[in-house]
Amino acid sequence: MLRRNRPNYLETLESAQRLAFAPLIFQAAAAALRSGLLKVIAENPGISSDEAAGKAGMTAYAAEVVTDMLVPAGILERTALAQGEENGKSGHGLKTTPTGDLLVYDEMTRANFFFSESVCYAGLAFTREALAEGKPAGLKAFNPGWKTIYPHLPELPGEARSAWFGFDHWHSDQAYGAALDILARMFPQTSPLTLVDIGGNTGRFSKAFLLRFPEAKAVIADLPVEVDALPRRPELAEVRARLSGVAIDWLTPDELTDRPQAEGADLYWMSQFLDCFSETEAVSILTRTRRAMTQNSRLAVLEPIVDEQRHRAAELSLAATSLYFTVLANGNSKFFNGAELRRIFAAAGFAIESEHPDLGVSHTLFILRPENAF
């Protein structure tokens, strides 16, 4: 029931309007970022809207309509005019708030923002359809024929492609260093290990692994489109001699065990991978992986756990990314909560050997041992 005499009613009313107009605020911020207007203001506190418009190559009208939105949105603040700008002018200057500064200077905020803008925004108009049908209905904003986003990552339009990889890489990169330190405590650095990097994508983790373990080899198991592109990636040149690929689509009945080069490895690795699948699919993938393992093999799973975060900002980012999975990626997955993921491991016949929470911003590393008979 609506009660106007509640404490802080006006603040509550403002926060509800912030939500009601969220897409408009978001697009104003996107325009200010993409045009460089926000950076101009961040670098010149107290600048007038007109002068900022000139420096960012916008009309005075465009800058005014955008900055008028960003002030009540908490991204800009009005100030006295900067020195040198007062001559004969009345009015106010502009400066960025701490939130505005994060948008301009903070890598994580920018990776998240541009992902929302370029990958998610248009497709989110189909959220209700995606929720009702369990299909990524928002993909039709890119191409009505796409069934999931993964085989089409290389075909995304330029800004969306760099935003997708920027987002994925920023979040996984933060945790890779800490995860490699843990692996280095498990395996001597000089051992001739074999790694199977499941969902290895562009080879970023495999490369870091091979540089840390100079005697190791790595096999990337991913969709054909990713595996086929590996030989053309110049950034992998340094480790190419020790890196190979194996194409697999886990949503077909294929077994990893059909691929001898992926069998009996020392270490299997899944980073930000199981969250691309429903619980049933994840159990099936893990069970098939277990069958390719020996009793001495280990599986390392790196995942952000939605209900085990230290910070509200991380929980919010993960919950939002789950909605991306629903509307744009596959229609049926989300970041798992801790109980779900541990249940999935057990159902697939794995025992948890160790858990390492709080790696990077929001990840947990699980080291798993195959438990069931071979």
Q: Does 227 bind ligand SAM (CB under 6 A)?
A: no
Residue type at 298 in one-letter notation: R
Is the separation of the CB atoms in 324 and 120 below 8 Å?
yes
Q: Characterize 163-201 residue by residue with b for buried, 16 or more Cβ atoms within 10 angstroms of its Cβ, and e for exposed.
A: bbbbbbebbbebbbeebbeebeeebeeeeebbbbbbbbb
Pick the stretch among 3-11, 198-206, 309-317, 340-348 that binds ligand SAM (CB under 6 A).
198-206
By CB under 6 A, the count of residues binding ligand SAM is 18
Return the number of the residue (63 or 248) whose C-beta is nearest ligand SAM: 248
Is the separation of the CB atoms in 82 and 93 below 8 Å?
yes
Return the number of the residue (273 or 345) whose C-beta is nearest ligand SAM: 273
* Smallest distance from ligand SAM to CB 344, Å: 16
DSSP, collapsed to helix, strand or coil, labels residue 210 as helix
C-alpha 154/C-alpha 165 separation (Å) is 10
C-alpha 348/C-alpha 366 separation (Å) is 14
Q: Which of 166, 199, 304, 331 binds ligand SAM (CB under 6 A)?
A: 199
What would the x/- binding string for ligand SAM be over residues 92 to 131, using CB under 6 A?
Answer: ----------------------------------------
> Phi/psi of residue 40, each to 5°?
-55, -45
Q: Binders of ligand SAM among 137-176, rule CB under 6 A?
A: 150, 168, 172
Question: Residue 294 — left, alpha, or beta (φ > 0 → left; ψ -120 to 50 → alpha)?
Answer: beta
Is the separation of the CB atoms in 227 and 198 below 8 Å?
no
* Smallest distance from ligand SAM to CB 277, Å: 7
Pick the stretch among 3-11, 45-53, 79-87, 197-205 that binds ligand SAM (CB under 6 A).
197-205
Q: Does 335 bind ligand SAM (CB under 6 A)?
A: no
What would the x/- binding string for ligand SAM be over residues 237 to 276, using CB under 6 A?
Answer: -----------xxxx-------------------xxx--x
Q: Which of 163, 223, 318, 328 binds ligand SAM (CB under 6 A)?
A: 223
* Smallest distance from ligand SAM to CB 224, Å: 9
> Phi/psi of residue 195, each to 5°?
-110, 135
Return the number of the residue (93 or 138) whose C-beta is nearest ligand SAM: 138
Q: Binders of ligand SAM among 8-67, rule CB under 6 A?
A: none
Residue 289: count other Cβ atoms within 10 Å of its Cβ.
25
* Smallest distance from ligand SAM to CB 198, Å: 7
Give every CB contact of residue 210 below 8 A, 6+ residues apart in sequence. 216, 217, 218, 239, 242, 243
Please list the residues that pair with 270 across neighbouring strands: 198, 301
C-alpha 180/C-alpha 128 separation (Å) is 40
Q: Which of 35, 112, 116, 201 binds ligand SAM (CB under 6 A)?
A: 201
Is the separation of the CB atoms in 262 and 221 below 8 Å?
yes
> Phi/psi of residue 306, each to 5°?
-65, -35
Q: Does 303 bind ligand SAM (CB under 6 A)?
A: no
Return the number of the residue (100 or 304) whose C-beta is nearest ligand SAM: 304
Q: Does 226 bind ligand SAM (CB under 6 A)?
A: yes
Residue ranges binding ligand SAM (CB under 6 A): 150, 168, 172, 199-201, 205, 222-223, 226, 248-251, 271-273, 276
